[in-house]
Structure 1
Amino acid sequence: MRILAIDPFHGAAGDMFLGALLDLGTDRDAVIRVMASVVASPTIEIVTRAGIQAVKIHTHAGPASRTLEEVIERVRTSSAPAVVIARAEAVFQRIATAERSIHGKMEHFHEVGADDAIADVLGSCMAMHAISPEAVTVLPVATGSGTVKMAHGIYPVPAPATAAILSAGGLQVILGGGTGELCTPTGAALLAEFCTGQADSLPAGRLDATGYGAGDRDDPHTPNVLRMLLLTTSETVAEDEVDILETNVDDVPGEVIGYLLERLMEEGARDASATPLTMKKGRPGHLIRVICRPDDAKRLSIFMARETGTLGVRCIPAVHRFIADRRIEDIDCTINGNTGRFPVKFGTMEGSCYTLKAEYEYVCRFAREHNLPVVQVRREVEEAAWEKECKRQGFRQ
């Protein structure tokens, strides 16, 4: 199994994340092309931070203040593949959700809305797509200490948005690790978006490559770098433990349940669902069920109680589950003479794909643009994906 281990022992920022991936040996030309489609061609430099050579990115972009919609529109006009654009959108959605949780609303991105941040996020998503690790393990994140000056004023470190992103992503942190802001909102959002597991130390395996991405400051005592390591481990079926939270409600409107499920996912739930029930005295109701990390169980239980008014949330602790290895791949498909590119999620165990699914929003967008039934588009895309996978595995459908 190919694992990317990310070690933010001195924090993380967008340019550090991208620099480490470039130092690992990702497709540099592809990354530069994607970044150049939103800013001028970036400059890649080898610098030294406290004796360690690292890659530093210069985007040559100025400051800008944009709304989330403006940032998403700029991301969508890039030359990146659809799956990369979707990942970049998800990163900015994480930041926007954190901003709304702190300020009550999110009118504009300030530092994060600038072209350099957009280019860093797109470049990082493209670089990760090119490497395509089967799992991403994130070690504890150093946040820094002191204060940081931002558009809204002077804030303690970690900045409120950074803390909210790290919390929603369930990432372990080291409060401190250096002076100043070591982990930025962009760095936190990238870590949270790509993390598939956490550890206190590096996993066992063969070390294939190491990459270092440099930050701006050059601390003579501690290298201001983000370290990434590519490892190969013995291939096994991944597994972990989760808690299951449940509550029955019979007086909550459907709109509130829909809102609740969406917010639970934003708050870090692995999955959330509602099942219709017939409750005592024949009353219609719903079973709300949430799958989450054990560390998130209490926080999400309180959130469920506040949103629904329920007087109790059942917790089924430490349920053992098996996890399929996952990857997302772009599939080209022509339907009724119209050609499109669709992200498809593949699930594999022990090296063999056993399930796949076209990403729904792209299927719907294509169906709407070409006035086609969405079920037809999804079927043909998934058939094309199965055909490609069968050729890769060396057998016929």
Structure 2
Amino acid sequence: MSDAKRGFNTLQIHAGAHPDPATGARQTPIYQSTAFVFRDADHAAKLFNLQEVGFIYSRLTNPTVAVLQERVATLEGGAGAVGCSSGHAAQIMALFPLMGPGKNVVVSTRLYGGTVTQMTQTIKRFGWSAKFVDFDDLDAIAAAIDDDTRAVFCESIANPGGYITDLRAVADVADRAGLPLIVDNTSATPYLCRPIEHGATIVVHSTTKYLTGNGTVTGGVVVDSGKFDWSASGKFPSLSDPEPAYHGLKFHETFGPLAFTFHGIAIGLRDLGMTMNPQAAHYTLMGIETLSLRMERHVQNAVKIAKWLEADERVDYVTYAGLESSPYYGRIETVCPKGAGALFTFAVKGGYEACVKLIDAVEIFSHVANLGDTRSLIIHSASTTHRQLEENQQRAAGADPEVVRVSIGIEDADDLIADLDQALSRAVA
């Protein structure tokens, strides 16, 4: 039976993995090796010339990482994937084959604060730029695209507010412009949302979050849909034109649906070195085995807690898309039918100071700069993850000074409510 016919629960355990041929080990081993022995000189030459697939050096390819790449690509419905060192590395890796000096990317205003900084500041050093647009305004997205635009970028469920993007509508805008849509699917995971089914070209993840699920290692992955024609417009010469480093090889002509993936390994990892280590891949593989079970509990708890917060007189508002009062509630059925995730914000009466007091008063919630853990996490984004932004940028991203962000874990929901209850009492006293 092919993977295409198997269910998600089966694939999250088995996709990409086979018993170790040398030992029979059932769990994927950690191949903690820098390099791999070639069969002979001809074998080595073919590997380096991209004429044969195999393992050379762990900056490029590693057997443990390869299993993770295949598993995530399968769960997302993609053609291939490239593992890398972090979610931020994945974003640069996704843009790298597409961009060039003077080129721009059109991005959503609702992004993680670190991504906003990466897009506003860091990419300038490559000669790239970003145009920020409210992705609820499709006409504004289309208007922002010009002759130098090379991609459109958004999050499926945006961090920190939990807003749901209308991926199909955004993909249609990108398609009309002949551009790839890159979707950060970290907050949703492929269990809740599969962006490629909604028209996305490329999906990126911080595997640090829900995919690993236990707050142990950092990592990222870039998944290619394999559906974009990189040679159609002449806008993507890295993929369509002869590559000098490989004797004029044309990635799209040679590798077809896997062109973007092969470029990510043969050029991206080779030269940028944003490599995932095999131990991190191993931890993430173990985490993915329980992804569906965890996401079901995450969502179940988030709905219960968000409803309780919305009814509490000490709270001004809750941004969770799983509430019927949310303007994004109607998108759940089409974009993420298994639930709106477990990440959202709520505004505390008393503003910034009350938020700080709340953070200091929680007992079960952990005050950390992470999300997607089995543990429930809380942070005041305006003073931490989004601190480097101006207040208007914070509000555009959903990180208003008067809100705290919560990542709801898989503990007993009643215990989490009790913790928030006592902390709110102290915060607004």
TM-score (normalised: structure 2): 0.22
More helix by share: 2
TM-score (normalised: structure 1): 0.23
More strand by share: 1
